[in-house]
Amino acid sequence: MSKVIDALSILLILGASLAFAVGVAALGERRDLAALYWLAIGGLVLRSAVELLRPRSSSR
């Protein structure tokens, strides 16, 4: 199970990077709303990866 979670966290980071890249590409094509949307998606995916790694509720 832990291996699946590790793989998921790597996939989430790669997904976040992809979303950021799409956002920057959309910025270059003058699609501002799409750019903001994909950058927000990237931020959320990255946040998910952090939570998956070290949950905030952890007592450590």
Partner 1 sequence: MNELGAAQSGSRPSAIASALRPLRERASTILPGLYAWLTTVALPSAQHGASASARVSAVFALLALVAAPLFVNERPRLGRALGIFSFIGLSLLTWVLLGAGLVQNPGDPLLSALGAVAFTLYALGWGSLRRRDAVPEDGPNVIPGQPLQPRLRPLRSTPIVFGVILAAALVTVFLAFRVIEPERALFAHAVAILAAILTITVGARVALLVGQRKGLPPASERLNAVAVPLALLALVFGLGFLWLVVR
Positions in 9-28 near partner 1 (CB under 8 A)? 9-10, 13-14, 16-18, 20-21, 23-25, 27-28
Q: Rounded to whole angstroms, how far apart are CA atoms 58 and 41? A: 25
Task: Note whether 41 binds partner 1 by CB under 8 A.
Answer: yes
DSSP state of 54: S
Does position 31 interact with partner 1 (CB under 8 A)? The reply is: no
**The residue count for the chain:** 60
One-letter amino acid identity for 43?
Answer: G
Token pair 């750019």 in the structure block, residue: 35
Positions touching partner 1 (CB under 8 A) are: 1-3, 5-6, 9-10, 13-14, 16-18, 20-21, 23-25, 27-28, 30, 37, 39-58, 60
